[in-house]
Amino acid sequence: MSGIKLSGDSSGTTTTGGMTVREMTRLERIGAHSHIRGLGLDDGLQPRKGGSQGMVGQAKARKAVGVIYRMINEGKIGGRAILLAGKPGTGKTAIAMGLAHQLGENTPFTTMSGSEVFSLEMSKTEALTQAMRKSIGVQILEETEVMEGEVVEIQIDTSFASGDNKPGGKKGGMEKTGRLTLCTTDMETVYDLGTKMIDALSKEKVTAGDVITIDKASGKITKLGRSFSRSRDYDAMGSQTRFVQCPEGELQKRKEVVHNVSLHEIDVINSRQQGFLALFAGDTGEIKSEVREQIDAKVVEWKEEGRAKIIPGVLFIDEVHMLDMECFSFLNRALESDMAPVLVIATNRGITNIRGTEYKSPHGIPLDLLDRLMIVSTDPYTHDEILKILSVRCEEEDVEMADDALELLARIGTETSLRYAIQMVITASLAAEKRKSAQVEIEDIKRVYKLFVDVKRSTQYLMEYNKEYMYNELDDSDEYAVDNGDEEADKKEDSMETSP
Ligand SMILES: Nc1ncnc2c1ncn2[C@@H]1O[C@H](COP(=O)(O)OP(=O)(O)O)[C@@H](O)[C@H]1O
Ligand SMILES: [Mg+2]
């Protein structure tokens, strides 16, 4: 398939060979939590009503996480840990995502699932260390020299170079030379341009009347906008044109630039075997502790000199009951270090075995770690809240649904699970599409309810036809629980670990 546009011009769609390709920006993927855009709190940390920022209900937990948000945002705390505990589908992951949005781009937020530490090609503690260091931001301030001014004129001469008399020179190649005149309100200077600068200027489409900066060290050109003095000549220019003042004073200026990196990125760049390319491959391997010690010392030094700021971010570990004793004790210790992020963990387990041991503990978390946690619990949703969440999802997935259909879906959600109901939104809309209706009606919900069974019905079916399945071990006295999908896997793994 060819012709997918990355950034479209004014026309929304392109037709290539009879095939319509939608603009990429409109094809943004919809994830389970893509409707969540924050915690939906007002300035006094009170949850706003009516699905603000995609968040519905769960007021107590949102408020609690709002307090955490305040503390993180003020930059004072690190090394605290918060546990989100509650039944499956009560919005634990959603609230963590809300916190991430609320904190914004400049606060690092790392998300991982407990089981991830077992699947990487490195030790568990290394995986956790990397995750921790990804969650600590370092803001490095740097002064650079730039030239900033309004372009008065660009003059480019192209001449054919003979090339014959130059050893290794391109035969008959084009040679470009040029001059650039820049001005501020106080002065004007003409600069000679080399080929590289000419290319850079034409790549950025710089023309007379643009206000630009040129980084002296790297030669990087940045367009700041069009000068106001030109605003009259360009009535026909699009509304996206930004007009700026012609700079004042000297053409050469010192400018402060801020680089945002994480400790992990500094680690990778400085670990000699891999270098920064490993950042792109994601295959960073294990990093020596000496490297980290040096970096920590350096960062502290920069901080004292006022050249860097440390920003403790958040490490979020979902399904934290998948961690084992070794991981928990590592976390316990790591939280005490000076440069620890805020740890947010989530679990849906009650009193259960700590992975790989015979010890039972609340949430499957050892008591000494539990003792440090601030626990935020999430409660199951009411019918009305489920209805509201579903209507938010309909909006997110661009689905029109009749009120009575939504009501039915909410009832299904209350009786089965919120997640099952959410899955039905898009499937029901496909069913409606099939009957060429723009709106989902009750009959579409009924149809997909028959096509896709929920866990309860599936289990019932399994019990009825138990004998016909392979490896059935169902004990009649056993109460089955909903959402214990990975529990079985847990048990198997555990027994493998403990048996020699
Ligand atoms: N309070 C809420 N407001 C809006 N959407 C929610 C809320 N709680 C849960 N959801 C949505 O319901 C689904 C299940 O919630 P999730 O956060 O995955 O539950 P948990 O992590 O507690 O098992 C997700 O799609 C989530 O975005
Ligand atoms: Mg979850």
- Atom of ligand 1 at shortest distance to CA of 86? 22
Nearest CA to ligand 1 atom 17: 91
Mean pLDDT of the chain: 82
Instruction: Give the pLDDT mean for 151-169.
Output: 69
Nearest CA to ligand 1 atom 16: 91
The pLDDT assigned to 433 comes to 92
pLDDT surpasses 50 at 26: no
* 397, 419, 486, best to mutate for ligand 1 pocket (most atoms within 8 Å of CB): 419
Instruction: Give the pLDDT mean for 258-286.
Output: 75
Cα–Cα distance for residue pair 353/494, rounded to 1 Å: 10
The pLDDT assigned to 472 comes to 63
Instruction: Give the three-class secondary structure for 173.
Output: coil
Q: Is the CB of 380 under 6 A from ligand 1?
A: no
Distance 96 CA to ligand 2 centre (A): 9
232 or 298, which is more confident: 298
**Which segment of 181-185, 236-240, 306-310, 381-385 scores lowest on mean pLDDT?**
236-240
Backbone angles phi, psi at 183, to 5 degrees: -140, 160
The pLDDT assigned to 338 comes to 79
The pLDDT assigned to 263 comes to 92
For the stretch 210-213, contacts whose Cβ atoms lie closer than 8 Å and that sit 24 or more positions apart, written own/partner, are 210/150, 210/151, 211/148, 211/149, 211/150, 211/151, 211/244, 211/245, 211/246, 211/247, 212/148, 212/149, 212/151, 212/182, 213/146, 213/147, 213/148, 213/255
The pLDDT assigned to 195 comes to 85
**pLDDT band, residue 423 (cuts 50/70/90):** very high
**pLDDT band, residue 493 (cuts 50/70/90):** very low
- Atom of ligand 1 at shortest distance to CA of 54? 4
Q: Is the CB of 88 under 6 A from ligand 1?
A: yes
The pLDDT assigned to 329 comes to 93
**Residue among 445, 420, 418 nearest 431 (CA):** 445
* 30, 33, 321, 455, best to mutate for ligand 1 pocket (most atoms within 8 Å of CB): 33
Ion ligand 2: residues, CB < 5 A:
93
Distance 85 CA to ligand 2 centre (A): 10
CATH topology assigned to domain 142-257: OB fold (Dihydrolipoamide Acetyltransferase, E2P) (2.40.50)
Which ligand is the nearest neighbour of the Cα of 88? 1
The pLDDT assigned to 474 comes to 58
Instruction: Give the pLDDT mean for 449-457.
Output: 89
Distance 285 CA to ligand 2 centre (A): 28
Q: Is the CB of 32 under 6 A from ligand 1?
A: yes
Instruction: Give the three-class secondary structure for 472.
Output: coil
Instruction: Give the pLDDT mean for 152-176.
Output: 67
The answer to whether residues 267 and 278 touch, using CB atoms and an 8 Å cutoff, is no
- Atom of ligand 1 at shortest distance to CA of 58? 1
The pLDDT assigned to 382 comes to 94
Which ligand is the nearest neighbour of the Cα of 111? 2
The pLDDT assigned to 172 comes to 54
Nearest CA to ligand 1 atom 10: 91
Q: Domain map of the chain by residue range? A: 1-30, 52-135+313-378, 142-257, 382-497
**pLDDT band, residue 236 (cuts 50/70/90):** low
* 418, 424, 426, 483, best to mutate for ligand 1 pocket (most atoms within 8 Å of CB): 418
Cα–Cα distance for residue pair 315/136, rounded to 1 Å: 9
The pLDDT assigned to 20 comes to 41
The answer to whether residues 171 and 295 touch, using CB atoms and an 8 Å cutoff, is no
**pLDDT band, residue 24 (cuts 50/70/90):** very low
**Which segment of 334-338, 364-368, 397-401 scores lowest on mean pLDDT?**
334-338
Most confident option among 20-34, 76-90, 312-326, 466-480? 312-326
Nearest CA to ligand 1 atom 8: 91
pLDDT surpasses 60 at 425: yes
Q: Is the CB of 93 under 6 A from ligand 1?
A: yes
Nearest CA to ligand 1 atom 9: 91
> Percent of the chain beyond pLDDT 70?
80
CA 320-290-106 angle, 5° bins: 55
- Atom of ligand 1 at shortest distance to CA of 55? 3
Q: Is the CB of 39 under 6 A from ligand 1?
A: no
**Which pair of structure tokens corresponds to residue 360?**
């039972």
Instruction: Give the pLDDT mean for 197-222.
Output: 88
Distance 133 CA to ligand 2 centre (A): 23
Distance 93 CA to ligand 1 centre (A): 6
pLDDT surpasses 70 at 154: yes
The pLDDT assigned to 32 comes to 87
pLDDT surpasses 60 at 14: no
Q: Is the CB of 57 under 6 A from ligand 1?
A: yes
CATH number of the domain at 382-497, please?
1.10.8.60
**Residue among 101, 39, 32 nearest 64 (CA):** 39
> Percent of the chain beyond pLDDT 90?
46
Strand 360-362 versus strand 373-378 pairing type: unpaired
Instruction: Give the pLDDT mean for 340-344.
Output: 92
Backbone angles phi, psi at 240, to 5 degrees: -80, -5
Distance 283 CA to ligand 1 centre (A): 32
Give the count of beta carbons closer than 10 Å to the beta carbon of residue 64.
Answer: 19
Q: What pTM value is reported for the model?
A: 0.72
**Which pair of structure tokens corresponds to residue 23?**
């603009």
Q: Is the CB of 36 under 6 A from ligand 1?
A: yes
Sheet with 314-318: list strands edge to edge.
109-113, 314-318, 342-347, 81-86, 373-378
Q: Is the CB of 321 under 6 A from ligand 1?
A: no
Instruction: Give the pLDDT mean for 51-67.
Output: 92
pLDDT surpasses 60 at 170: no
Which ligand is the nearest neighbour of the Cα of 61? 1
Q: Is the CB of 85 under 6 A from ligand 1?
A: no
Q: Is the CB of 340 under 6 A from ligand 1?
A: no
* Domain spanning 52-135+313-378, CATH class: alpha beta
